[in-house]
Structure 1
Amino acid sequence: MDLLDEIEHRAFRYFWEQADPNTGLINDRAGNFGPDDYTVASTAATGYGLAALPIAVERGWIGHDQAASRARVTLEFSLTLAHQHGWIVHFVDKHTGERVWQSEFSTIDTVLLIVGALAAGQYFAARVPEIAGLSDQLYRRLDWWWVLTNDGTQPDKRMVSQGTRLESGFITNNWWDYSEAVMLYLLGLGAPEKPLPHPSWEAFQRPLEKYSGFEWLRAGPIFIHQMPYGYFNLRNQRDRLGFDYWLSSTNAMKINRRFCQYRAKKRKTYAEGFWGLNASDGPDGYKPYGVAGDPEDGTVSPTGAIASVTFTPDLALSAAQAMYEKDGGALWGKYGFTNAFNVDRNWHSPDVIGIDLGMALLAIENYRSGLIWKLMSGFDGTARALDAAGFRENVGAGETRVFSTR
């Protein structure tokens, strides 16, 4: 068995099987070892499901017509979901699309839906142009200035709000520091109508630090350093501020593993060589696990390690093999690896989570073929975004530094 291929295939099966065929909406999570009664879909998981369709066609897992039909159903229904100025509710009933849990209208989760839609639109455009048109509708109806200025009440604000709630209005927090919102700002800069202003790219903080000799933009859970780069290939590029985000992420993978190595005497999980501190399930609930100062109890995320494959392939592949062999395959279920496990507590999650499988799926395919990167590089909005942020080829002595003005 080709383990990498099997991980990728099982991740795709999640998005295919956990979608309601009438709406295309995909469960936020699912049981990995048996039946479950989950019915709540997330817009983010649904976006990864759209991006998964081109991969599945290219891999021969489903036919082109099957994939195009699913994409069309998903996009048509997504356009009917509750939204505010284009920003869609985060959690909904997968069968009806009704808002659940008094969920917020989330900017980042809307972006995760739309960037997946755009990748699918690029792929199917030649034979099924309606799919590209539906994706474009979702993108064009986003009112970036509404979430930038809180509906004009803060006209000088340059950082995007995290979203709104029906019950209380705009969420107080903005996307103010280095995070997965890199992709939100890029989509905003590349918008075809009323894009974000260039200063919005410069506005969020970039905490440059060193750990064990590695320079990085500090952010705890490993997914932050992976999520934007499943769609945007920023390898060997710097923005106009002088930051190399790809190098920062590469170092973040090494730091995550090194931190676990340093803690091996205190945690059995790390002593067995496992790593991948991530926002994940844990024995005491869902937590944003990370390095040096973030929550940490010996819980690691298999997809956190695996999604590093585009940055540190040797580390990712060896981690995947070790996890597959752990306890005779106890971590391995119908959709691949469990969401998280903890050797110290003799615990593993019964579930998988859609966005984590999505990040791993895209990372593996980009490592193997670069498919999603190629689709997004061919999208007009990507060129507009990279130009607005001032990205240029990273050359010269600065190549080994995350920040350089050379």
Structure 2
Amino acid sequence: MKNHSLLLLLLTFIAFGCNSGKVGAPDVIKPSTFVVDSTDKFPVVTDEALLTLVQKQTFKYFWDFAHPVSGLARERNTSGDVVTSGGSGFGIMTIPVAIERGFITRAEGLQRMQKITGFLKSNTQKFHGAFPHWINGSTGVVVPFSTKDDGADLVETSYLIQGLLTARQYFNGTDAAETALRNDINTIWHGVEWDWFRKNKENVLYWHWSPKYNWDMNLPIKGWNECLITYALAVSSPTHPIPKIVYDNGWTGNGSFVNGREYLGITLPLGDAYGGPLFFSQYSFLGLNPKLLVDKYTNYFNQNRSHALINFNYCKTNPLKYYGYSDQCWGLTASDIPDGYSASSPTNDQGVIAPTAALSSFPYTPVESMQALKFFYYKLGDKIWGDYGFYDAFSLKQPWFANSYLAIDQGPIIIMIENHRSQLLWNLFMSCPEIKTGLKNLDFQSPGL
């Protein structure tokens, strides 16, 4: 199942009877047989020490559990040889964090990056320069995500390139090794034919292309969702750029993604009712600094903060009366659920909390996210804390606790906590000269561009 596609959202919304953006009651609410034990499961440490602990433990997913041949991130902890291009982009972004926090040395980080970029450049199957969603981590051959999703995935590619450009800006030494790394990253970046994904020069980008089925997936990339980074990179490409009209018509729908309505007392500038799952305000903004993005539609930090606060207030208000929801236990986004995977949100609420939702919102809701972190770690840590940090999701109403880890959920925790603490990844990615030029061409107004 595609962990973050518009198609998944449509399917899950249909499956769970979401309509008109209204929050409705589920068919059945079963009383929980679980009672939270309020005792602390681990020794209490300072807030800063706790943030570092979470980053260090979660980083092990990308460091210790990386694929041994390619160095790329496995899709999940049961994926074997299957690695994920987007999740690997997130994992790449955790390497500068790990170096700066002292988890690994710069030499170790450089060596891992050399392995990753060498594999991506020389071994990985690409389609017009774009990467597939899933890759065999040993051979580099595409692993079909579905029958027709057996080729290029432009959104996954954008998450990978976001990570690579961040690493390029970090490894800025003049020695031969770091210079060669930057050159390899540029080769990969320059090879992506973003403009080709307009499908016969339409004024919109398309998500997928298959060597067997061509454009049959037929999923245009339109906002508001997790794909702003795709358009930002496409317009910034020094070799295959798209013109602004593709962004205006395709991404913004010529302004049709504007919302402006109020939910739970908070005005939401863009997007669907209640904001959707929280990864919408996270994936593109691992590198794009919303504090530096202002245009005629909104201030993007305000957009993301409003989205997170709506999600927080929804869980705090708890209209469906699920056991455990509170101002300390909140966060709805795409995650594992008891019977599969779903894009949870206030309009598709199945009683499942994903730690990544609140923790990856730290830059937007530092007080509320810290409350959640302390609850997850101290009160539920005996059930949801493991070798690679917090497990993917849990439901106190069932009760149910996942034993899974997903790359696309673990990565943002490390990255967004660091952006909250130091803005490291924001500063690195936004320092790319191509990105500065591209964002200016899209009429983003900011003193930092």
**1:201 match:** 247
Tell me how far 1:272 sits from its aligned partner: 7.7
Matches within 5 A, 1:248-397: 248-263=303-318, 266-271=321-326, 273-291=328-346, 293=347, 295-327=348-380, 329-393=382-446
Q: Deviations over 1:50-104 (max 9, x none)?
A: 1111111111111111111110110111123111111111112222222223544
Q: Indicate conservation of the 8 Å contact 1:75/1:134, yes or no.
A: yes
In structure 2, do the counterparts of structure 1 residues 236 and 88 end up closer, same or farther at CA, with 3 Å as the change threshold? Answer: closer
Gaps of 5+ in 1: 31-35, 395-406
Q: Indicate conservation of the 8 Å contact 1:264/1:271, yes or no.
A: no
Q: Counterpart of 2:385 in structure 1: which amino acid?
A: W
In structure 2, do the counterparts of structure 1 residues 272 and 191 end up closer, same or farther at CA, with 3 Å as the change threshold? Answer: closer
**1:232 match:** 288
Q: Indicate conservation of the 8 Å contact 1:40/1:92, yes or no.
A: yes
Tell me how far 1:210 sits from its aligned partner: 2.2
Gaps of 5+ in 2: 1-44
Q: Indicate conservation of the 8 Å contact 1:19/1:94, yes or no.
A: no
Instruction: Identify which of 135, 138, 145 aligns with 2:188.
Output: 138
In structure 2, do the counterparts of structure 1 residues 53 and 175 end up closer, same or farther at CA, with 3 Å as the change threshold? Answer: same
| Separation in structure 1 between the aligned mates of residue 89 and residue 159 of structure 2, nearest angstrom | 6
Secondary structure (helix, strand or coil) at the match of 2:231 reads helix
In structure 2, do the counterparts of structure 1 residues 6 and 328 end up closer, same or farther at CA, with 3 Å as the change threshold? Answer: closer
Secondary structure (helix, strand or coil) at the match of 1:169 reads coil
Tell me how far 1:172 sits from its aligned partner: 0.5
Tell me how far 1:326 sits from its aligned partner: 2.8
In structure 2, do the counterparts of structure 1 residues 37 and 381 end up closer, same or farther at CA, with 3 Å as the change threshold? Answer: closer
Q: Runs (4+) of structure 1 moved beyond 4 Å?
A: none
| Separation in structure 2 between the aligned mates of residue 67 and residue 320 of structure 1, nearest angstrom | 28
| Separation in structure 1 between the aligned mates of residue 440 and residue 423 of structure 2, nearest angstrom | 21
Q: Indicate conservation of the 8 Å contact 2:354/2:393, yes or no.
A: yes
| Separation in structure 2 between the aligned mates of residue 300 and residue 232 of structure 1, nearest angstrom | 26
* 1:89 lines up with 2:132 in the alignment: yes
| Separation in structure 1 between the aligned mates of residue 188 and residue 79 of structure 2, nearest angstrom | 30
Secondary structure (helix, strand or coil) at the match of 1:238 reads coil
Secondary structure (helix, strand or coil) at the match of 1:280 reads strand
Instruction: Identify which of 159, 165, 187 aligns with 2:210.
Output: 165
Q: Could you state the TM-score of these two structures normalised by the residue count of structure 1?
A: 0.90
Secondary structure (helix, strand or coil) at the match of 2:224 reads coil
Q: How many residues align?
A: 381
**1:187 match:** 233
| Separation in structure 1 between the aligned mates of residue 212 and residue 230 of structure 2, nearest angstrom | 24
Q: Deviations over 1:160-187 (max 9, x none)?
A: 1011123311221111221111011111
Q: Indicate conservation of the 8 Å contact 1:140/1:192, yes or no.
A: yes
* 1:106 lines up with 2:156 in the alignment: no
| Superposition RMSD in Å | 1.7
Identity in percent? 27
Q: Counterpart of 1:172 in structure 2: which amino acid?
A: N
| Separation in structure 2 between the aligned mates of residue 328 and residue 225 of structure 1, nearest angstrom | 26
* 1:211 lines up with 2:257 in the alignment: no
